[in-house]
């Protein structure tokens, strides 16, 4: 499938997740297969235009992640167009606009999901961006602001007319935040009405659900929390879609993922003066991932508590080794040695 002229090797993608889908995590998911597109954490258009270092860091990616979409948020058409040009200059394949974030800090600045409340203005943002860049401009929205304003079908058509190359819809309203269930009927209606590709997002935890959601008529599925729990879910979904059994993932595989993530993080953001040490930053990153990664695992709550209690990076590595490699003394030794 394609978004504009960009070929996606699979219809299954990693959804943007602030604080979670950093370049290290995206690289690892990509290496495990099945991933047609990665989207960065949301990045402030204002920060990009002002050249703020921390903002630029959020937009960093590596070649192995391609095709890569950088998601920006903001509400001013000129600034969004300028930010899109910066994203294009950074070599990204796609620039995506966040119209789904319900967090007041973002929404009150006329950005994120509050753009859905002003559809004409939202369309003018997309028109300005599409005019400013050659790479595809895409939009990620929710079903609407609340139950009374479930206007994603109208807005999707308006942004298509304004030049969007694809739309992704998370079938919850901003008011719902993450409660209840995503409304895939509204996703299906939008997929039916638009000529550009439509992606659906919401509540795919098992690979079977990812494949089943394609029946809504979408071109692809963005998986968020399911990837944080199981980074192999996209590869497994692709297996199922191809008529193969889903690949099995062992405890050792799961442990190795965390160790590989730690290894990649060791080489990220090392030359920066920050309030916390680099090791502490990695521990915090593992805690954030651990709160999702441990869900559904036997003894997952114990692992989660242990990750939260680990007070140093070596202690964390040792604990991961003990939990995942209990039956594999060789791997456990190499973990304890800090490899
Ligand atoms: C921790 C977290 C951070 C998120 N950050 C973003 C974001 O930066 N931009 C965005 O468009 N959506 C964001 N989302 C929404 C997801 O992309 C996705 O649409 C939503 O979680 C529903 O899909 P899921 O059930 O597969 O997680 C975030 C979701 C989570 C759980």
Which entry of 101, 113, 204, 317 is annotated as an active-site residue?
A: 101
Q: Which atom of ligand 1 is nearest to the CA of 96?
A: 11
pLDDT reading at 332 higher than 80: no
**Cα separation, 16 vs 222, whole angstroms:** 9
Query: Is residue 246 within 8 Å of 37, Cβ to Cβ?
Result: no
Output the CA–CA distances (angstroms, integers) from residue 206 to 118, 213, 224, 332, in the order listed.
Answer: 35, 11, 12, 29
Ligand 1 pocket: which of 26, 73, 224 to mutate (most atoms <8 Å of CB)? 224
Ligand 1 atom nearest to 203, measured from its CA: 25
Task: Please state the atom number of ligand 1 nearest to the C-alpha of residue 100.
Answer: 11
Residue 115's nearest CA partner among 206, 42, 187, 60 is 42
Determine the atom of ligand 1 nearest the C-alpha atom of 205: 26
> Which atom number of ligand 1 is nearest to the Cα of residue 168?
19
Q: 170 CA distance to ligand 1 centroid (A)?
A: 8
330, pLDDT greater than 60: no
Q: Determine the distance separating the centroid of ligand 1 and the alpha carbon of 222, expressed in angstroms.
A: 9
> Does 270 score more than 70 pLDDT?
no
Angle between helices 329-336 and 251-266 (to 10 degrees): 20
Q: What confidence score (pLDDT) does residue 6 get?
A: 98
Query: Is the CB of residue 20 below 6 angstroms from any atom belonging to ligand 1?
Result: yes
Contact 202, 233 (CB under 8 A): no
Does the beta carbon of 112 sit less than 6 angstroms from any atom of ligand 1? no
The rounded Å distance from CA 266 to ligand 1 centre is: 25
- Whether the CB of 223 sits within 6 Å of ligand 1: yes
Mean pLDDT of the chain: 93
Per residue in 225-247, pLDDT (tens digit) is 999 999 999 999 999 999 999 99
Q: Is the CB of 18 under 6 A from ligand 1?
A: yes
Q: Is 81 in the pocket of ligand 1 (CB under 6 A)?
A: no
> Is residue 31 predicted with pLDDT exceeding 80?
yes
Q: Which residue has the higher pLDDT, 1 or 107?
A: 1
Q: Residue 326 Cα, ligand 1 centroid: separation in angstroms?
A: 33
Structure confidence at residue 290 as a pLDDT band (50, 70, 90): very high
Residue 336 has pLDDT above 50, yes or no: no
pLDDT digits (tens, 9 = 90+) for 111-165: 999 999 999 999 999 999 999 999 999 999 999 999 999 999 999 999 999 999 9
- CB within 8 A of 246, min separation 6: which ones? 207, 236, 237, 239, 240
Distance 25 CA to ligand 1 centre (A): 15
Q: Which helix (H) or strand (E) holds 337?
A: none
101 in active site = yes
Cα–Cα dist 317/321, whole Å: 6
Ligand 1: centre distance to CA 162 (Å) = 25
Tens digits of per-residue pLDDT, 90-111? Answer: 999 999 999 999 998 887 778 9
294 CB within 6 A, ligand 1: no
d(CA 265, CA 285): 9
Q: Find the 16 Cα to ligand 1 centroid distance in Å.
A: 6
Give the mutation target among 12, 17, 94, 230 for probing the ligand 1 site: most ligand atoms within 8 A of CB: 17
Distances (CA, A) of 248 to 150, 237, 245: 39, 12, 9
- Measured distance CA(301)–CA(290) in Å, rounded: 10
pTM equals: 0.94
Cα atoms in the Cβ-side hemisphere of radius 13 Å centred on 75 = 18
């Amino acid at each position: 499938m394609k978004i504009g002229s960009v070929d996606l090797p699979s219809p299954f993608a990693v959804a943007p997740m602030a604080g979670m889908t950093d370049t290290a995590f995206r690289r690892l998911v990509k290496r495990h297969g099945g991933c047609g597109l990665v989207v960065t954490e949301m990045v402030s258009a204002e920060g990009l235009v002002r050249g703020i270092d921390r903002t630029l860091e959020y937009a960093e990616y590596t070649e192995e992640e391609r095709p890569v979409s950088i998601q920006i948020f903001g509400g001013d058409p000129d600034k969004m167009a300028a930010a899109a040009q910066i994203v294009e200059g950074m070599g990204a394949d796609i620039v995506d606009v966040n119209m789904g974030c319900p967090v007041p800090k973002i929404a009150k600045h006329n950005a994120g999901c509050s753009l859905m409340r002003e559809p004409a203005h939202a369309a003018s943002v997309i028109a300005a961006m599409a005019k400013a860049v050659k790479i595809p401009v895409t939009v990620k929205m929710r079903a609407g602001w609340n139950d009374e304003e479930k206007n994603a079908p109208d807005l999707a058509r308006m942004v298509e007319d304004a030049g969007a190359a694809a739309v992704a819809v998370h079938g919850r309203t901003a008011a719902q935040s993450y409660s209840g269930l995503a409304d895939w009927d509204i996703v299906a209606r939008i997929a039916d009405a638009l000529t550009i590709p439509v992606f659906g997002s919401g509540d795919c935890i098992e690979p079977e659900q990812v494949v089943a959601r394609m029946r809504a008529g979408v071109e692809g599925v963005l998986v968020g929390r399911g990837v944080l729990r199981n980074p192999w879910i996209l590869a497994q979904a692709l297996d199922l879609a191809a008529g193969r059994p889903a690949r099995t993932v062992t405890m050792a595989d799961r442990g190795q993922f965390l160790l590989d993530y730690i290894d990649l993080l060791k080489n990220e953001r090392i030359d920066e003066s920050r309030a916390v040490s680099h090791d502490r930053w990695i521990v915090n990153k593992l805690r954030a991932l651990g709160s999702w990664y441990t869900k559904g695992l036997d003894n997952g709550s114990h692992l989660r508590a242990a990750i939260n209690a680990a007070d140093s990076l070596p202690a964390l590595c040792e604990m991961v080794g003990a939990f995942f490699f209990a039956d594999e003394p060789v791997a456990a030794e190499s973990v304890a040695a800090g490899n």
